[in-house]
Amino acid sequence: AQSVTQLDSHVSVSEGTPVLLRCNYSSSYSPSLFWYVQHPNKGLQLLLKYTSAATLVKGINGFEAEFKKSETSFHLTKPSAHMSDAAEYFCVVSPTNAGKSTFGDGTTLTVKP
């Protein structure tokens, strides 16, 4: 069994300030973890993924996430928010080698000028 909890449904930051989007997961096996981004009226795009290699994962557009097994967390961060980062973000857990994927409910990121 697996589940994902995104701890904040909405996050608002000012442009140029750090971003933190929180994700906790549970899984009965060693999972793969992903963050996807969805801009308004667009499809989903992969930001980054963890697949049991390095625990600090770097993604596109300056985003990073750290896998912490002891805390069952995979939080997404970015040092400095840009207006174009405004979107909805999804944390996803799935068994290694595909299978049943579980999405979090999403976090809407708002970036204020």
**Whole-number minimum distance, CB 111 to another protein, in Å?**
21
Q: Summarize as ranges the residues that interact with another protein (CB under 8 A).
A: 6, 9, 32, 34, 36, 43-46, 49, 51-52, 90, 94, 96-106
**Whole-number minimum distance, CB 102 to another protein, in Å?**
7
Quote the CA–CA distance of 73 and 39 in Å, as a whole number.
24
**Whole-number minimum distance, CB 79 to another protein, in Å?**
24
Quote the CA–CA distance of 100 and 4 in Å, as a whole number.
13
* Longest alpha-carbon distance in the chain: 42
